[in-house]
Amino acid sequence: MNGTARTYTPASILPFAFFLLVSVAAIVFRQYWLIALPFAWVLAPPAFDGLTRHASALFWLLLMAVPLSSEISFTPSLGMDLPDELLLILLTVLVLAKWIHEPRWFPKSMAKRPLIFLLAAHLAWVLVTCFYSEEPWLSVKFLLAKTWYTVPFVLLPQKLLADKRSLRKLALYLLLPMCLVVLQTMVRHAAYGFSFGDIKHIFFPFFRNHVNYAAMLVCLLALAWCTWKLTPAKNPRRKWLLYGMLLGLLALLLSYSRGAWLALAMGMAGAWLIRKKWLGITIAACLAVLIAGTCWLVQDKHFMAFRPAHDQTVFHTDFAQHLSATWKGKDISNAERFYRWVAGANMLAEKPVTGFGPNSFYLHYRPYTVHSFETWVSNNPEHSTVHNYFLLTALEQGWPGLLFFGALFIGMLLYTQKLYHRLPDRFYKTVALTIGVILIMIGTINCMSDMIETDKIGSLFWLCLGMTVWLEGRLPIKDQN
């Protein structure tokens, strides 16, 4: 039989040798999952190539998944929001790999954006605090999570969003899933007679509680208004958008979330301030009042006047009594906030430069509490944090961490005002105004909670940053410079 002998090169023998070695190891150590490794080696390159080509589809799927995702706990200390967080990780890996393989994939102008510089400074300081953290592993997890939220929501829109049509699509992909969540929530709430006392039973699996639900709802109401505003009067969708907004307002009212109601009012006031170019002055005035108020509270221990009456500070199942207790200072949720805030302030005084490290508040705040502020819920079975994101940032990352994040947040707000007044296109002006309103709402909510690290509000916050940077690229050249 005539023929040529086949020659084997090391490159052709290596895969077979690897398969044989892994198979033997799987049998010897009884770790049969190892047999999947050779197949992963073979399938990974084409899978990565396919995912990279369809990264845009994953991004749109991510937007739809944000309102529908559910928090899953694998262990007492390890949890994940699925499926959106899984998509975030996948997109981050794809983007970073694409960037390394093809550095020119991202426009060079990104490096010149001031907000991107402030974001980089914020992330760099978080990295520094990880080295000084009381809980290094938890702090590294925090930094990783921060990374896989910022990469898809801040960097990826610069490549995937091309025009007005893509912005309409973005709004649609967020609003439709949330509309479905609101409808099923209202139906379930109706079964309880729209009772305030039973409201905790109706949000699973999409939201942890009524506060998280109302926070995202109020932000997306601003997005719904923007979409309605930019839809032509003769378009039949405009009517349905109006119906959706009315449903959303009713759902917001029945969420019984005072923080979200306040955020709605602050957002409307913020829109007026942006239009009048008074946002910067207002922020400066608020900071001055905050500093003066803090100094007064610390001086001669004036903060002790806010101690709750322990036996009279309880949870009310009747919402009218709940509001009355809030007005009289006998609401248990606000009383518990003071308990945590005092502890947070004491922690910040203990470590003012690098803080205790990201994700470390819960494990270290007990020794810094003041017993006279204790309430019936101070045992904290939910492992919640200090209920003020700005204070949480300061005590976990020190004063520099608060300054870096504060500069980024205030910079985003001021940029939306700048964009609103300098963008020539009415469509983009309205989008800039809406981003500013949403950021004001998020800021208001996070003065009484800490939701930037949650998948719902965190996704919206970082998407607002990405959209602000994207809109900056639509300015006339002279204004960009």
Residue-wise pLDDT tens digits, 307-316: 776 555 555 5
- Tell me what pLDDT residue 4 has: 56
Lowest pLDDT segment from 60-64, 137-141, 195-199, 219-223: 195-199
Residue 72 confidence class, pLDDT cut points 50, 70, 90: confident
Angle at 467 between CA 57 and CA 246, to 5 degrees: 85
Angle at 267 between CA 262 and CA 270, to 5 degrees: 125
356 or 200: which leads in pLDDT: 356
Sign of the four-CA dihedral 289, 294, 300, 301:
positive
- Tell me what pLDDT residue 21 has: 80
Lowest pLDDT segment from 49-53, 150-154, 293-297, 442-446: 49-53
Would you kindly state where each structural domain of the chain is located, as residue ranges? Answer: 114-277+387-480, 287-350+368-373
- Cβ–Cβ under 8 Å, residues 313 and 376: yes
In the Cβ-directed half-sphere of 429, how many Cα atoms lie within 13 Å?
9
Q: How large is the average pLDDT for residues 164-176?
A: 96
- Tell me what pLDDT residue 471 has: 96
426 or 310: which leads in pLDDT: 426
Q: Which range has the top average pLDDT, 204-208, 309-313, 338-342, 416-420?
A: 416-420
- Tell me what pLDDT residue 189 has: 94
Radius of gyration of the chain (CA): 25
Q: Which of 357, 341, 336, 351 is nearest to 391 (CA)?
A: 341
Mean model confidence pLDDT for the chain: 88
Q: Which of 420, 421, 440 is nearest to 430 (CA)?
A: 420
Q: Quote the percentage of the chain above a pLDDT of 90.
A: 64
Residue 247 confidence class, pLDDT cut points 50, 70, 90: very high
- Tell me what pLDDT residue 325 has: 57
Residue 175 confidence class, pLDDT cut points 50, 70, 90: very high
- Does the pTM exceed 0.85? yes
- Tell me what pLDDT residue 5 has: 55
- Tell me what pLDDT residue 133 has: 96
Lowest pLDDT segment from 322-336, 340-354, 423-437: 322-336
Q: Which of 161, 264, 166 is nearest to 220 (CA)?
A: 264
Q: How large is the average pLDDT for residues 202-219?
A: 94
Residue 7 confidence class, pLDDT cut points 50, 70, 90: low
Residue 71 has φ and ψ, to the nearest 5°, of: -80, 120
- Tell me what pLDDT residue 309 has: 66
Q: How many CB atoms lie within 10 A of CB 42?
A: 12
Q: How many CB atoms lie within 10 A of CB 240?
A: 13
CA 357 to each of CA 138, 193, 316, 338, 421: distance values in angstroms, whole numbers, following the listed order: 9, 44, 36, 22, 39
Lowest pLDDT segment from 266-280, 305-319, 334-348: 305-319
Lowest pLDDT segment from 17-26, 88-97, 294-303, 424-433: 17-26
* Whole-angstrom distance, CA of residue 121 vs CA of residue 402: 12
CA 88 to each of CA 73, 100, 150, 314: distance values in angstroms, whole numbers, following the listed order: 18, 18, 9, 40
Question: Which residue bears the tokens 């999947």?
Answer: 36
Q: For residue 333, is pLDDT > 90?
A: no
* 8-state DSSP, 2: -
Q: Quote the percentage of the chain above a pLDDT of 70.
A: 86
* Whole-angstrom distance, CA of residue 359 vs CA of residue 368: 16
- Tell me what pLDDT residue 83 has: 92
* Whole-angstrom distance, CA of residue 211 vs CA of residue 217: 10
Q: How large is the average pLDDT for residues 152-175?
A: 94
402 or 40: which leads in pLDDT: 402
Which residues, other chains included, contact 100 with Cβ-Cβ below 8 Å and sequence gap of 6+?
none
- Tell me what pLDDT residue 52 has: 62
Residue 1 confidence class, pLDDT cut points 50, 70, 90: very low
- Tell me what pLDDT residue 376 has: 76
* Whole-angstrom distance, CA of residue 420 vs CA of residue 277: 9
Per-residue pLDDT of 81-123, as tens digits, reads 999 999 999 999 988 888 887 777 777 778 889 999 999 999 9
201 or 318: which leads in pLDDT: 201
